[in-house]
Structure 1
Amino acid sequence: MHEKEFLLTFTVLLHISAYGVVTAGSRTGVYMDNGVQTVKQDFMSVEERNEVEQEILTMFGVPKIPRKSPKNLDGSAPQFLFDVYRSIQQDGSHDRRERSVSDVGQYDDRTVEDSDVIVTLYLSNHSPVSNVRHEHGKRILFELNDVPPEETHMITSAEVHLYQSGSSSNVKQYSVTLYQVLVSNNGEKELEYVDTQNTTTDYDGWLRFNATGTLVSWTHYSYPNRGFYVSVHSHDNREHELKPEEIGMVTWADKHQLSEAKKPFMAVYLKSRNGGNIVGGPSLQKHYRRRRRKTVESSYNSNPFQNVAEGFQSRSCQIQTLYVSFRDLEWQDWIIAPDGYGAFYCTGECNFPLNAHMNATNHAIVQTLVHLMSPIQVPKPCCAPTKMAQQAVLFFLEDNNVILKKYKNMIVKSCGCH
């Protein structure tokens, strides 16, 4: 299923669930126009709601709802991605974004814009103590289980974010270097250079290290992930290695004392190999056939909005409200943002004459004229989206890592006759 078909599929799912038999059900999380105002649709059965939920999860690329567990929104990774999310939502403009006070981790606007998925990884609970030949540096390890597979996503960038708590006394310059931990043929630990950032003792904030090549070697070429090694040297004495905490670097050794907002994390940026297309679940056709049978067998007046739906059909092509509330679906435990989103949809007739507000294509105008002459052979043009927008969704994964996904063509911005 291509991305341009996603909204149609989603609308069909809601339509066939709504305009069938009225049954005792549960909250649907769906709001639609009733001809007068936007109202909540409360006539799905439990089975229907579960099916619609599963379809949405499949479209989101989430196999199942993450188990309920305490989620920390104050952590460095959630705050970092929330900053990114807010910048994306500001009319899609990365130039006019407003950063939060914490400015967690910083990021490159172009990298964010070019990615479809951004996932953050915390330090592993089993991060090893440094056991390489250097005594003063710190070894850190990130679990890679939540990085999407290379078959479906291409890594475009990966960065390690480390926090430094600055001190104003005795200001000096230092180099913080990140190495990849390797094992030589004789079994000894070796270090391979990754990236370096220069800093001073009075700097208070985040340092970013480009680790794209290293992550690709672990995920694509299946090199063993033995973590990173953080090394600090003074510009005055490059032969002497310092402990990272001596200049306020927050690493694994400080894990239990540091605040959640300063925890090290890794940000991975990915591009979907299918161009951002969303794949729908397999139950759509089965569900549609079953609902069609129920609808035919039910009485015409079983749906209180049936007459309203017919009223829509006589209107000219226009945009109508379709809002999905994640909070009403009780997904607020794992979806950080948004609480819901306005998908909207197109409905109405494309009758002659096609007015300017119908945004008709030249082909639609010609088709309308031919339809007037041969209404049986040539159908009228269809009311369809003419402009669509993406929707970003920020949510927790099973192990409390956080992921931001941008879904293309999720929101109808305008409608027209095609």
Structure 2
Amino acid sequence: MVSPFRVWQVVLSVCCYALVTRGVENLAVDPGFRTPLSPLVLPSAADLSVHERNDMLNAFESTLLNMFGFSERPKPQGKKRVPEYIMDIYRRHSNGHDGTTMDFNIEGKTTGTANTIKSFHHIEEHFDIDEAIHRHRLVFNLSSIENEEILTAAELRLFRHAIPDHKIRKRHALNESENITDGKVIQRINLYQILKPVARNRDVIKRLIDSIVIDVRNTTWESLDVAPAVKSWTNDANSNYGVEIEIIDRRGSPSRHGDDHLRTRRRIGDDTSLEIHDEDQWFQQRPLLVTYTDDGRTKRSSKKRTKRQKSKKKRRLKENCSKHSLYVDFAIVGWDSWILAPEGYQAYYCQGECPYPMPEHLNSTNHAIVQTIVHSADPSSVPKACCVPTELDTLNMLYLNEKEQIILKNYKDMIVTSCGCR
């Protein structure tokens, strides 16, 4: 069993490796932590008392958590599931992201400079439905959106099953053929922000914020723009009375095709025997409000990525400045209870000599070349140029915050992609 102090040595080494510019042999860490840590990372840890050691570790943990935007380590209860939509975004962005920007670029959506994605399920205790006129009312708790976050987009995602052909034919026999257009069976979904609740069985005061036309023969997710409502709720939490979903036909009347194909509740239609008892299925099909926000951090890496011509005849010598493996395993550190993905990542680090004369492939600045020339002539006058990261990528993280809210976020400058002499 890995001791707590041994585990935190690893965390601290990850936090500090960028600060150590010389003598970092053996800093590379494999997933099993078989490689010893450099004593320079924690030079006198063995000489500390238990109290001093704990104080030091707590201070470093606090620093590391602050880097991720936390005041304390999240402590989630039980197993946490991730909506498939959020996981899909994570996979696509992780596989196709080039690290030059922190923004989420999602095909078919305008999310602006968003670098944070949060998802919310409606509060089931507050769910209300008027089955006679096919209106559904949903309320979401958005308290985990911080004041400094800038909303760039928000959508309400609704899952619906296709209405079987035999039901469509039966309802068309009741003179609903006017809802067929170019072979499509049409319904309209209107989304309203509830501005003020009123007594039961009376219309609420509301405003229309989005409307879409659907073909009831298709099984798919629908997306409606809910940004106007979310903006008003984040400005004034007391104004959050939820949203109302209305399903009508082309004439604006309650649709005879009904609303039981729209998954807003566990029970399917009027048949209680069809109630969803599979928690996983209900979790993945229930309404999902997704917000895209900009947390105010710098969007572009301070390191510009440029293409460099590299000689095919270049020989990479181990002793010269180069990139080395530094794997961070969240499970061994004990953070896998709240970091949902990735399980770990290659942070890498830079190490090696910056010799004179300076080889072209070491990606040196003019200043580093001059410094190296002066050092070679008089070693006591100036130090050698240092092997440091010259290009860094962002890291996608899917995690739970202190309120157990699922968040997908980009963190800049987390992965070394190139090293050079500076």
TM-score for the superposition, normalised by structure 2: 0.70
8 A contact 1:161–1:206 mirrored in 2: yes
> C-alpha displacement at 1:323, in angstroms?
1.4
Which AA in structure 1 matches 2:156?
Answer: V
Given that 2:157 and 2:223 are in contact with CA atoms closer than 8 Å, whether structure 1 keeps it comes out as yes
Report SS of the residue matched to 2:259. Answer: helix
Aligned equivalents of 1:148, 1:41: Cα separation in 2: 41
CA distance in 2, matches of 1:136, 1:110: 28
1:153-168 matches, cutoff 5 A: 153-168=149-164
1:358 aligned onto 2:362: yes
- Which blocks of at least 5 consecutive residues in structure 2 are unaligned? 1-10, 46-52, 100-104, 169-183, 269-274, 302-317
Q: Does residue 406 of structure 1 match 2:410? A: yes
Change (3 A) 1:126 1:63: farther
Cα contact 1:176–1:199 (8 A) shared by 2: yes
Amino acid corresponding to residue 327 of structure 1 in structure 2:
A
Is this contact kept in 2: 1:233–1:241, CA < 8 A? yes
Residue 71 (structure 1) aligns with: 79
Question: Counterparts of 1:2-401 in structure 2 under 5 Å?
Answer: 10-12=14-16, 32-33=27-28, 39-41=34-36, 47=54, 50-73=58-81, 77=83, 79-92=84-97, 108=107, 111=110, 114-130=113-129, 135-149=133-147, 151=148, 153-169=149-165, 170=168, 172-183=185-196, 189-220=204-235, 224-235=239-250, 237-240=251-254, 245-246=259-260, 248-252=261-265, 254=267, 257=276, 259-276=282-299, 315-401=319-405
Shift of 1:205: 1.3
Could you tell me how far apart the structure 2 residues matched to 1:273 and 1:371 are? 42
Answer whether contact 1:136 1:242 (CA < 8 A) is retained. Answer: no
**Distance in 2, Cα, partners of 1:11 & 1:397:** 20
Structure 1 position 367, deviation (Å) = 2.3
- Kindly provide the amino acid, as one letter, of the partner of residue 326 in structure 2: L
| 1:63 CA drift (Å) | 2.6
For residue 126 of structure 1, give the secondary structure of its aligned residue in structure 2. helix
| Residue pair 1:129, 1:138 contacting (<8 A) in 2 also | yes
Per-residue deviation at 1:181? Answer: 0.2
RMSD: 3.9
Measured in 2, the distance between the counterparts of 1:415 and 1:259 equals 48
Deviation at residue 121 of structure 1 after TM alignment: 0.8
Contact conserved, 1:316 with 1:350, CA < 8 A, in 2? Answer: yes
Q: In the alignment, what sits opposite 2:171? A: none
Contact 2:247 2:259 in 1 (8 A): no
Q: Residue 131 of structure 1: CA displacement? A: 8.0
| Contact 1:276 1:407 survives alignment (8 Å) | no
Larger Rg: 2
CA distance in 1, matches of 2:353, 2:33: 21
Bigger mean CA offset, 116-125 vs 248-257: 248-257
Report if aligned partners of 1:232, 1:243 keep a CA contact under 8 Å in 2. Answer: no
Q: Distance in 1 between matches of 2:405 and 2:73?
A: 14
The 1:69–1:227 alpha-carbon spacing in structure 2 relative to 1, beyond 3 Å, is same
* Gap change, CA 1:62 and 1:209, over 3 Å in 2: same
The amino acid across from 1:211 in the alignment is: V
Q: 1:164 to 1:398 in 2, by over 3 A?
A: farther
Change beyond 3 A, Cα 1:397–1:123:
farther
State how far apart, in whole Å, the 2-side matches of 1:8 and 1:330 are: 13
Q: SS of 1:245's equivalent? A: coil
For residue 194 of structure 1, report the CA deviation from its aligned partner.
1.1
Quote the Cα distance in structure 1 between the aligned partners of 2:77 and 2:381: 59
2:120, 2:289 within 8 Å by CA — same for their partners in 1?
Answer: yes
1:283 maps to what in 2?
Answer: none
Measured at CA, do residues 201 and 109 of structure 1 come closer, stay the same or move farther in structure 2, by a change above 3 Å?
Answer: closer
Relative to structure 1, is the Cα distance of residues 339 and 127 closer, same or farther in structure 2, using a 3 angstrom cutoff? same
For 2:161, give the aligned amino acid.
Answer: S
Gap regions ≥5 residues in structure 1: 1-6, 21-30, 95-105, 279-313
Cα 1:219–1:113 shift into 2, 3 Å: closer
Alpha carbons of structure 1 residues 8 and 371: separation in structure 2 relative to 1, 3 Å? farther
Q: Greater CA deviation, 351-360 or 337-346?
A: 351-360
Counterpart secondary structure, 1:39: coil
In the alignment, residue 55 of structure 1 is paired with which amino acid? T
Amino acid at match of 2:388: A
Provide TM-score, normalisation by structure 1: 0.71
- Tell me: CA distance 1:11–1:374, structure 2 relative to 1, closer, same or farther (3 Å): farther
How far does residue 125 in structure 1 lie from its aligned partner after superposition? 4.1
CA distance in 2, matches of 1:244, 1:399: 37
Output the CA distance in 2 between the equivalents of 1:85 and 1:163.
20
Partner amino acid, structure 1, of 2:191: L
Whether the aligned pair in 1 keeps the contact of 2:389 and 2:417 (CA below 8 Å) is yes
Match for 1:121: what amino acid? F
Q: Secondary structure of 2:74's partner?
A: coil
Task: Write the distance in 1 (CA, Å) between the matches of 2:393 and 2:112.
Answer: 14
1:156 partner SS = strand
**Distance between the aligned counterparts of 1:315 and 1:55, measured in 2?**
33
**Percent pairwise identity:** 26
Question: In structure 2, what is the Cα distance between the partners aligned to 1:214 and 1:268?
Answer: 11
Contact 1:137–1:243 under 8 Å retained in 2: no
Query: Is the 8 Å Cα contact of residues 183 and 189 (structure 1) preserved in structure 2?
Result: yes
Offset at 1:135? 4.9
In the alignment, the residues of structure 2 paired with residue 391 and residue 399 of structure 1 have an alpha-carbon distance, to the nearest angstrom, of 22
* CA distances 1:377-405 after superposition (whole Å, capped 9, x unpaired): 43332211111111111012355431111
CA change 1:393–1:209 in 2 (3 A) is same
